[in-house]
Amino acid sequence: MSGLLGRLGGWCARHGWIVLTLWVLAAGLLTAATLVWGRPVNNNVSIPGTDAQRAHELMREGFGPGFDPGGTVQLVLYTADGTLADEPRREAVEQSIEALRREPHVAQVETPYRIGGMSSNLRIGMITVRLRGQDTTKIAQTSERLVAAAAPAVRAGVEVVPSDSSTPADKQIKTGASEVAGVVVALLVLLFAFGTLVAALVPIFTALISIGVGLGVIALLGHVVDVPSTASILATMIGLGVGIDYALFLLSRHRSLLAEGVPVREAVRRTAASSGGAVLFAGGTVVIALSALMFAGVPLLRTLGWITGVSVVCAVLTAITLVPAMLGILGHRIDALRLPFFGRTARRDGPATGWARLGTWVARRPWRVLAVTALVLAALTAPAATIELGPLDDGYGDKGTSARRAYELIEAGFGPGANGGLVVVAELDKKIADSTPPDPVVQVLRQRVEHTDGVAYAASPQVNEDGRSVLIQVVPDYGPSDPRALDVVERVRAIEMPGVDVHVGGEVAGMADMGDRIMGRTPLVVGIVVLLSAALLLLAFRAPLVAVKAAAMNLVSLGAAFGALAVVFSHGLGSRLVGMDPPPSADGSYLATLFFSVPIDTYVPLMLFAVLFGLSMDYEVFLLTSVRQAYARSGDNRAAVAEGLGSTGRVITSAALIMVAVFTAFIAYPDPLVKVFGVGLAVAITVDATLIRGFLVPATMVLLGRLNWWIPRWLDRILPNMSIEGHEDGERVVPAEPGPVGPGRHARR
């Protein structure tokens, strides 16, 4: 494989302008196509085979799309002066209702002057607008149009705020600030790492081209598949980080070869053969980890996984083609515009670097380093056991958003449960449905629901035309993020009546079913990710213990990330620092507004696991590649570990700083989900690049000695040769020995 990548890199270097032009054209054309045809999104969280999904299907089939949560918009009315029942305001509200009925796709408008439509103080009311035939991917735009139609009420001094099924990401389309901040910090890190402006700009340029192509592909795919609004943000976050990192690894290797006097095109070929192979395998592990999400049984996770994988594939392709092309075009001008005092090209025969000295220090005292590092990592991981999972509602959104304002008004006027209402849909068997009338059964069902513990209110039941389905809208006592709301769902579902099959839908019920599905599938997804990633490493390095150890190390860094999430969000020790505002239910004290817990959506840990496992494997691949190359030359395990850490430490640190900067910049994004991802990714990469790669991995490799590269004879015979080391001419490769140890049976520890 290294030979193929070397030939590809050499061809790209010789035809640099052609390759560069093709990539720029691809990015430009895809961006233009996005501007012309748009980037539709659909936050479809359906989960086939669940009780909530069955309830939603019955709603659409028996009562029309207007009763589906995605086809309903609530306009929340509020007046601080007087009441909504005062004649001038009531007249203005009635005029707004008439205007709403004339809007396209509006099937029904329910007045706030009805039972349950207004708060007890008559200052807060709700207009329920049921839609039919509208574009469900543009619910935020539809809400804005409905608010504009309610202009008579606004002119009368009534505040009109939409409450719909869209997310903060739907309303905050401008995300440029986070990307710009991440790119700026990345540029500063690259300037310190390389010391030249031209070298620093190459990874930035290739990453931006990669993101442009990836987002263009994702946007166009939105026309044929459901793409969540958050997908493009996650794809940008991860694609930008890995895009810069992959180019950084290639560029560092190339400049090192140039410093040794290797001609430009030969240096590009060798770089593509060695570091290019590492990039390909590193990106492959990320894609494998993300692809495993298809086994989670949740369409949203599956889509987020492969959409994010598109950005990683684009980053790998630009790294192995566009970077060699630019290196060939620039030649020795890669070191142009040098900055004084910054950057230094490492040479194998040069003085020992700080990372090499660290590697030597670790190699001399592996047991002590292993023990101390394990204790520190255990302390970082311990809080993960207390992480709180649950639905994340609009009460945790930015205070400046309409979603947060609507949430607060509804809670103040109708109670916390009104923000997460349940929809009870019961199927009646044919005998009951054909009886005249079936009202006694329906009314008994309503009474059973209303007297369920935790139910605040149950509306009058509605029976569909054929009499086979009954719909009851229910308001629980608890808000969507309250764990007790999930208990209410289970209690309502447990209602049993002869001839009546009860289903519960709504946001809370859907999240409960998603949590159950994910918890049941998590062992399968984790097993697939770990096994496939270890198998890929086995193919790359032909070392079973190295593959198993790498998977274990990645799980350790994941534990630290989940521990940080528990501290910041579950315990609230940093929720305010990441831009979260206290929910309306906070008691108003100083501590309550400074430290408040935030639930983490049930699907986030599994998504984070897949992303972080893949990203953590990147640094493992680059470090192991360098150690294996050093071991192939010398056969000395201790010296190889020290040399491998010394040659990659600065590069891995720079790459980690870039990723942490990119992920931290996205914490400023208004969507709480993106904040959670930003914190988790930033902490995991920090721990992985310092404690794991700097101390734990070298210590364990020293202790394992020759066993690092041991492979059974039978396995050595059946494994295909896919080595990614890309040994250079003149390097002495220690041959593999059959038996209990692998390459270099007489190697020194």
More confident call, 187 vs 173: 187
Residue 431 pLDDT grade (very low, low, confident, very high; cuts 50, 70, 90) = low
Q: What is the distance between the alpha carbons of residues 496 and 710, in angstroms, rounded to a whole number?
A: 62
Indicate whether 381 and 431 sit together in one domain: no
Burial pattern 70-109, b for ≥16 Cβ within 10 A else e, equals bbbbbbbbbbeeeebeeeebbebbebbbebbeebebbbeb
Closest C-alpha to 441, from 453, 452, 426, 451: 426
Tell me how many domains the chain contains.
3
Indicate whether 284 and 308 sit together in one domain: yes
Does the pLDDT value for residue 746 go beyond 50?
no
Q: What are phi and psi of 72, to 5 degrees?
A: -130, 135
Out of 166, 182, 209, pick the residue that ends a domain.
Answer: 166
Does the pLDDT value for residue 214 go beyond 70?
yes
Cβ 693 vs Cβ 624: under 8 Å: no
Residue 169 pLDDT grade (very low, low, confident, very high; cuts 50, 70, 90) = very low
Find the CATH number of the domain harbouring 159. 3.30.70.1430
Average pLDDT over residues 277-286: 84
Indicate whether 626 and 706 sit together in one domain: yes
Q: What is the distance between the alpha carbons of residues 19 and 324, in angstroms, rounded to a whole number?
A: 9
Q: Which residues contact 425 (CB under 8 A, 6 or more apart)?
A: 54, 55, 58, 59, 62, 469, 470, 471, 472, 503, 504, 505
Residue 585 pLDDT grade (very low, low, confident, very high; cuts 50, 70, 90) = low
Helix (H) or strand (E) holding 202: helix 197-221
Find the CATH number of the domain harbouring 272. 1.20.1640.10
pLDDT per residue over 35-80, tens digit each?
A: 877 666 555 567 788 888 888 888 877 776 555 555 688 899 999 8
More confident call, 312 vs 62: 312
Indicate whether 547 and 678 sit together in one domain: yes
Amino acid at 620: E
Out of 475, 505, 535, pick the residue that ends a domain.
Answer: 505
More confident call, 174 vs 676: 676
In a domain, 728, yes or no: no
Find the CATH number of the domain harbouring 487. 3.30.70.1320
Does the pLDDT value for residue 646 go beyond 60?
yes
More confident call, 202 vs 189: 202
Two tokens, residue 330 = 């620039």
Does the pLDDT value for residue 301 go beyond 70?
yes
In a domain, 625, yes or no: yes
Q: What are phi and psi of 229, to 5 degrees?
A: -65, -30
Q: Which residues contact 474 (CB under 8 A, 6 or more apart)?
A: 421, 422, 423, 424, 449, 455, 457, 458, 459, 492
Indicate whether 477 and 363 sit together in one domain: no
Does the pLDDT value for residue 372 go beyond 90?
yes
User: Which range has the top average pLDDT, 320-324, 460-464, 577-581, 639-643?
Assistant: 320-324
Residue 642 pLDDT grade (very low, low, confident, very high; cuts 50, 70, 90) = confident
Parent domain of 495: 422-505
| β-strands 106-110, 124-131 pairing | antiparallel
Does the pLDDT value for residue 170 go beyond 50?
no
Indicate whether 258 and 375 sit together in one domain: yes
- Would you give the distance in Å from CA 579 to the centre of its chain? 18
Indicate whether 233 and 309 sit together in one domain: yes
Two tokens, residue 651 = 């590069």
Q: What is the pLDDT of residue 341?
A: 60
Closest C-alpha to 727, from 622, 617, 619, 631: 631
In a domain, 691, yes or no: yes
More confident call, 312 vs 140: 312
In a domain, 56, yes or no: no
Amino acid at 465: E
Indicate whether 176 and 33 sit together in one domain: yes
pLDDT per residue over 492-532, tens digit each?
A: 999 988 888 899 988 888 888 888 888 888 888 888 888 88
Q: What is the distance between the alpha carbons of residues 565 and 679, in angstroms, rounded to a whole number?
A: 7
User: Which range has the top average pLDDT, 101-110, 314-323, 452-461, 480-489?
Assistant: 314-323
Q: What is the pLDDT of residue 588?
A: 60
Out of 166, 184, 210, pick the residue that ends a domain.
Answer: 166
In a domain, 80, yes or no: yes
Q: Which residues contact 287 (CB under 8 A, 6 or more apart)?
A: 309, 312, 313, 614
Half-sphere exposure of 147 (CA within 13 A, CB side): 19
In a domain, 604, yes or no: yes
Q: What is the mean pLDDT of the chain?
A: 81
Indicate whether 252 and 152 sit together in one domain: no
pLDDT per residue over 612-633, tens digit each?
A: 887 877 778 888 888 888 888 8
In a domain, 250, yes or no: yes
Indicate whether 184 and 158 sit together in one domain: no
Q: What is the pLDDT of residue 281?
A: 82
Q: Output the CA–CA distances (angstroms, integers) from residue 102 to 75, 136, 149, 162, in the order listed.
A: 16, 19, 9, 18
**Predicted TM-score of the model (pTM):** 0.79
In a domain, 406, yes or no: no
Does the pLDDT value for residue 719 go beyond 90?
no
Indicate whether 147 and 221 sit together in one domain: no
Indicate whether 328 and 204 sit together in one domain: yes
Look at 476-480, 670-674, 676-680, 712-716 and tell me which has the smallest mean pLDDT. 670-674
Q: What is the pLDDT of residue 479?
A: 86
- Give the whole-number percent of the chain exceeding pLDDT 90: 16
Q: What is the pLDDT of residue 595?
A: 74
Does the pLDDT value for residue 407 go beyond 80?
yes
Residue at token pair 């609009």? 394
Cβ 125 vs Cβ 185: under 8 Å: no
Q: What share of the chain is helix, strand, coil (3-state, %, to 5)?
A: 65, 10, 25
